[in-house]
Amino acid sequence: MKLTLNIWRQKGPNHPGRMVKYEMPNVDEHMSFLEMLDVLNEDLIHKGEEPVTFEHDCREGICGCCGFMINGLPHGPQRGTTVCQLHMRQFHDGEELWIEPFRAKAFPVLKDLMVDRGSFDRIIAAGGYVSVNTGCFVDGNAIPIEKQNAEMAMDAAACIGCGACVASCPNASASLFTAAKIAHLGLLPQGQAERDRRAVRMVAQMMEESFGYCTNTGECEALCPKGVKIENIARMNRDYLKAAITYREESAPAGGS
């Protein structure tokens, strides 16, 4: 099939960007979207032009590296699919596509379709863990966990940190991402001891990273490639409200003085 691509080209963080048109005369329906871009890039290199920069690694929909907008949708039109898993049979002959990076103040563009998502790591560093040192454990079966809770925790933990939720949100909020981790750990007995601290610190970090507020538009859930549910945000809000009233940060970090 034949496609016309309009791709955002931007040389670096402080350069202006613009849409550039490319014709793709020969696209195979069995190709993945990224393989189609590989073909374009090989072509550009042969012509002495710079290839389009886009992030990817596993190409199996699990590492969360890939992600950009196709016709205004993060990861493109197929539900529950990352762009590396999206195949060209989802498009039809003669279509024109607009391909842009994820847009958010907290995700500055580094080059072409590549953005900086370091803010996500900092949100996790603020409290997205159970504080146990290596070796500090009991037998795995000593903590029975209701199957249903384990399943729900797993649903939330399936987040791949790609940033599609932020890109889909009119407010560029990172609520779904943050809530998914708070819910994953909050649903398990192991996560209870730090539940308040986690909610307070992760939410504070999220605000500090200049993500927007959540106004419940629900776009994030609709467009999350891993089907992470918006009910996690309600759970986060409950945890946060409760903790905001009762939780007090220690004056000195543990062990320090």
Partner 1 sequence: MAINLDAKIPSGPIEQKWNKAKFEYKLVNPANKRKYSVIVVGTGLAGGAAAAALGELGYNVKAFCFQDSPRRAHSIAAQGGINAAKNYQNDGDSVYRLFYDTVKGGDFRAREANVYRLAEISVNIIDQCVAQGVPFAREYGGVLANRSFGGAQVSRTFYARGQTGQQLLLGCYQALERQIDEGRVQMYARHEMLDVVVIDGRARGIVTRNLVTGAIDVHLADAVALATGGYGNVFYLSTNAKGSNATAIWRAYKKGAAFANPCFTQIHPTCIPVSGEYQSKLTLMSESLRNDGRIWVPKKQGDTRAAAQIPEDERDYYLERMYPSFGNLSPRDIASRAAKRVCDEGRGVGPGGLGVYLDFSDAIGRLGKKTIEERYGNLFEIYERITGEDPYSVPMRIYPAVHYTMGGLWVDYNLESTIPGLFVLGEANFSDHGANRLGASALMQGLADGYFVAPYTIGNYLAGIKPGGVDESHPECKFAREEAENRVKTLLSIKGKKTVDEFHRALGKIMWDKCGMGRNAAGLDEALPLIQALREEFWQNVTVPGSGGEVNQSLEKATRLADFLELGELMVRDARIREESCGGHFREEYQTQDGEALRDDDKFCHGAVWEYQGSEQAPVRHVEPLSFEHVHLTQRSYK
The answer to whether residue 157 forms part of the interface with ligand FES (CB under 6 A) is no
> Residue 178's closest CA among 130, 222, 116, 237?
237
- Smallest distance from ligand FES to CB 211, Å: 21
Helix intervals (H) in the chain: 33-46, 118-125, 147-157, 164-168, 175-186, 195-208, 219-223, 231-246
**3-class SS at 5?**
strand
> Structure tokens of 11?
């040389």
- Smallest gap, in angstroms, from Cβ of residue 226 to ligand FES? 10
100: partner contacted, choices ligand FES, partner 1, none (Cβ within 5-8 A by kind) = none
Among 59, 122, 195, 242, binds ligand FES (CB under 6 A): 59
- Which among partner 1, ligand FES, none contacts residue 143 (Cβ within 5 to 8 A by kind)? partner 1
What is the distance between the alpha carbons of residues 2 and 95, in angstroms, rounded to a whole number?
A: 7
Per-residue x/- track, 66-95, ligand FES (CB under 6 A): x---------------x-x-----------
212 binds ligand FES (CB under 6 A): no
Rounded CA-CA distance 13/140 in Å is 47
Site for partner 1 in 24-63 (CB under 8 A): 28, 30-32, 34-36, 38-39, 42, 45-46, 48-51, 53, 55-63
Q: Which is nearer to ligand FES, 37 or 84 (CB)?
A: 84
Asked if 175 is part of the footprint of partner 1 (rule: CB under 8 A), the reply reads no
- What is the total count of residues that contact ligand FES (CB under 6 A)? 12
250 in contact with partner 1 (CB under 8 A): no
Question: Taking phi first (over 0 means left), then psi (-120 to 50 degrees means alpha), and beta for anything else, what does residue 14 get?
Answer: alpha
In the beta sheet, which residues pair with residue 19?
8
Work out how close the CB of 101 gets to ligand FES at its nearest, in angstroms, rounded to a whole number. 15
Q: How far apart are CA 137 and CA 118, in angstroms?
A: 31
* Contact region with ligand FES (CB under 6 A), list: 64-72, 131-139, 171-179, 209-217: 64-72
**Rg of the chain in Å (alpha carbons):** 21
